[in-house]
Amino acid sequence: MNARDSAYAALAATRPRVHVPGNVVEHFITRLRAQGGQCSRVDDEPGGRAWIAALAREDGSSMLTAKDAWLERILALPGPALPVLRAAGEGPVKGLAITTAIAAVAETGSLLLHPRAGTPMALNFLCDRLVVLVRAADVLPNLEDLWARVRREFGSDTPRALSLVSGPSSSGDIGMQFATGVHGPIELHALIVSG
Amino acid sequence: MQHTSEHFVQNSRIALADAQLKPVLGAVTTFLPALRQKAIDQTPEFEALRDYAVAMKDHVLDHLETYLADFERAVQARGGAVHHAAGAEDLNRIVLALCAGADVRKVIKGKSMVGEETNLNDALQGAGLEVLETDLGEYIIQQAGEPPSHIIGPALHKSKAQVAELFRQKHDLGERNLDDVPQMVREARQMLRERFLSADAGITGANALVAENGSIMLVTNEGNGDLCSILPRLHIVIAGIEKLVPTVEDASALHRVLCRSATGQITSAYTTFYSGPRRAEEPDGPVAFHVILLDNGRRAMRAGKYRSMLRCIRCGACLNHCPVYRHVGGHAYGWVYPGPMGSVLTPLMTGLERAVELPNACTACGRCEETCPMRIPLPEHLRQLRDDAATAGITPRAWRLGIGAAMTAFRWPWLYRASSGLARSAVAFLGRHPGVLRRVPVLRGWAQGRALPAPQAETFMGRWQRRQHGKSGEHRL
Ligand code: SF4
């Protein structure tokens, strides 16, 4: 180890963490809601399937779906009829879109999204309502845990984009008044799936 | 933007006379500090987070060149390219060459202070390119043809009514209403969406450059920076060399203090780490990824007594807490960076001679240093700049004479006592006869709406001597 790297190692050992009190999932929900996001919890995958069907019925438009094995499995479960599903990448991105996050962070109420084969990143930023599914077990306490998870999952070959989404697109640029849907999603829903 | 820092006093007069600006600035400098305080109150670790951010940045500055080399190698390993710009014109030239090489006609931009620093929009437009700012605040000022007034909220000087009026002038509204802020936001969304989808190149800044993996951290609440990074076929990142951090954990460490200090948020809505162009299996993303690193006086700063200024993360907290900024706003400072941080950076980047009034636009109250998450000794740097100006003989003559007179008085206690006694009587007289001041031409404006406070019955020195009377003689003046 050279002098720079040993100085850095000593420094990095002092990096403080932000303490997340109480239940990690509860903390995540509180944070995301405080940032203008919406959050729901279901007990299992069939519950997730039912929740998605209800939201899609209420929305009324076709639903754009990310290419993701877990999501596809949930959508293929028996249950009430789903609206027309459009695979992301077919036609323009608008209306309701649904994707998954490999992890979430309670400290900041963030969902980690990354580009995947067959799913445009634009889906996360151009739709009007974005639903992100995340497993309860993947909600991590703080950002240090997130980066440890990313390193474990991808090694040094991290994805080209790692996006922490922590609320709907918003701005306070006009009269310092909070408004959502400036460019990206007007609504952000996190659906936490237990079990 | 046009550089008018040499007219700070004149600019300030105009700002002070602007009745529309006063309530807006009052709201900005009350609301944002309150939000910051609330976020800090929710974060018991805040002081420790600050300490780490400072130590980490200092470490990077100690090893800047080797971290830069690591970053460059990592970007290249992921298929991107790094360019080095010594000055503003170099950066603009590199951007133009990249655009020309990729047959770019339409450019969309995320908010970038470096872009403001180099006057990039003018250079691009001068070369016949169509440039659109996509951050809502930047979009508003671009439509208004104005420079930014705040580094976080470039259009914060504009009231809701002024923005509605601007959109009415610039957009073909048809039946659409602009009665409230959500409607104005929808209006901008609609106007910008089409432009996002048809752009050839996206230019963004970076809140951090990560040496370990060649990624850039982009922080926004709107998501516009992400759209600039994903949709066009060319992504150009422009950033100062001081934005380097060793690892992603360090980028997050900075992010924690940035969001709390800038807008009182625990986090921004979008924080994305981008590295390299799209991969074969990905359906979108740029086909080319370029990072341009700007020096523009930064290496010189690193080598001298202003080195700590390179810790600045452009959070804007020092502006929001500055009593001078509160009254004159950002435009009075006459260049890209306003407030206390601007009063240090502008002379260092554009020359002390052009900005000698800025380091003097300070009450030495110390609130900027107290609030700066990176613990930059801003009042000390401002004092050093005043010192530099005096040494270089560029302090205005009237100020030199005034300071010379004060120094003479300090050197001769009897003279000081006599003149302060005289001044006390004069102030007492003027306090009792407020009409007199309002008749003095140069003081008329100042005296309007203000009354001189009645001075104390005796001077500090008189009181000190009375208190010391009877005590040991060694403390007597
Ligand atoms: S000087 Fe400090 S407070 Fe001011 S913008 Fe920079 S980091 Fe923020």
| pLDDT one-digit tens code per residue, A129-142 | 999 999 999 999 99
Chain B residues inside the 8 Å CB shell of A166: 267-271
Number of domains in chain B: 2
Least confident window among B54-58, B59-63, B410-414: B410-414
Closest CA to B371 of B144, B46, B124: B46
Residue B242: its pLDDT value, please? 98
The C-alpha angle with vertex B258 and arms to A163 and A29, in degrees rounded to 5, equals 55
Residue A88 has pLDDT above 80, yes or no: no
Three-class SS of residue A133? strand
Listed residues B300, B335, B350: the one ending a domain: B300
Question: Residue B104 half-sphere exposure, CB side, CA atoms within 13 Å?
Answer: 29
* Inside any domain, residue B383: no
Tell me the range of A125-129, B90-94, B469-473 where mean pLDDT is highest.
B90-94
Identify which has the larger pLDDT, B450 or B179.
B179
* Inside any domain, residue B381: no
* Inside any domain, residue B371: no
Q: Which residues contact B414 (CB under 8 A, 6 or more apart)?
A: none
Domain segments of chain A as ranges: 25-168+178-193
Residue B476: its pLDDT value, please? 44
* Inside any domain, residue B96: yes
Chain A residues inside the 8 Å CB shell of B284: 115, 120-122
Identify which has the larger pLDDT, B353 or B476.
B353
CATH number, domain of B75, equals 3.40.50.10420
Measured distance CA(B433)–CA(A34) in Å, rounded: 55
Taking CA atoms, what residue in B is nearest to A90? B283
Identify which has the larger pLDDT, B387 or A60.
B387
| pLDDT one-digit tens code per residue, B206-234 | 999 999 999 999 999 999 999 999 999 99
Write the CA distances from B429 to A88, B316, B421, B422, B437, integer angstroms: 79, 42, 12, 11, 10
B78, B196: one domain: yes
CB atoms A184 and B222 under 8 Å: yes
Return the CATH number of A25-168+178-193, one of 3.40.50.1980, 3.90.105.10, 3.40.50.300, 3.40.50.10420.
3.40.50.10420
Identify which has the larger pLDDT, B123 or A80.
B123
Listed residues B242, B265, B300: the one ending a domain: B300
Residue B144 has pLDDT above 60, yes or no: yes
Question: Mean pLDDT, to the nearest integer, of B103-128?
Answer: 97
Averaged pLDDT of chain B = 92
| pLDDT one-digit tens code per residue, B309-321 | 999 999 999 999 9
B282, B424: one domain: no
Q: Which of B158, B275, B284 sits opposite A121 (nearest CB)?
A: B284
Measured distance CA(B452)–CA(B436) in Å, rounded: 11
Residue B44: its pLDDT value, please? 96
Identify from B63, B266, B287 which residue to disrupt to test chain A contact, counting A C-beta atoms within 10 A and taking the largest count: B266
Task: Give me the sheet containing B130-133, strands edge to edge.
Answer: B81-85, B288-294, B234-240, B201-204, B106-109, B130-133
B47, B170: one domain: yes
B73, B192: one domain: yes
Instruction: Kindly state the tokens that stand for B19.
Output: 């009745």
Residue A89: its pLDDT value, please? 60
Residue A136 is given by DSSP the state G
Percentage of chain A beyond pLDDT 70 is 95
8 A C-beta contact, residue B202 and residue B109: yes
* Inside any domain, residue B290: yes
The whole domain housing B464 covers 410-476
* Inside any domain, residue B337: no
* Inside any domain, residue B405: no
CB atoms B274 and A173 under 8 Å: no
| pLDDT one-digit tens code per residue, B415-465 | 888 888 888 888 888 877 777 877 777 677 667 666 777 777 777 877 888
Question: Mean pLDDT, to the nearest integer, of B137-148?
Answer: 93
The alpha carbon of B294 and the centre of ligand 1 are apart by a number of angstroms equal to 19
Listed residues B300, B335, B354: the one ending a domain: B300
Residue B398: its pLDDT value, please? 84
Measured distance CA(B337)–CA(B176) in Å, rounded: 36
* Inside any domain, residue B31: no
Beta bridge mates, B236: B203, B290
Measured distance CA(B298)–CA(A79) in Å, rounded: 61
| pLDDT one-digit tens code per residue, A22-68 | 999 999 999 999 999 999 999 999 999 999 999 998 988 788 899 99
- Reported ipTM: the value is 0.96
Does any CB of chain B come closer than 8 Å to the CB of residue A95? Answer: no
Residue B467: its pLDDT value, please? 85
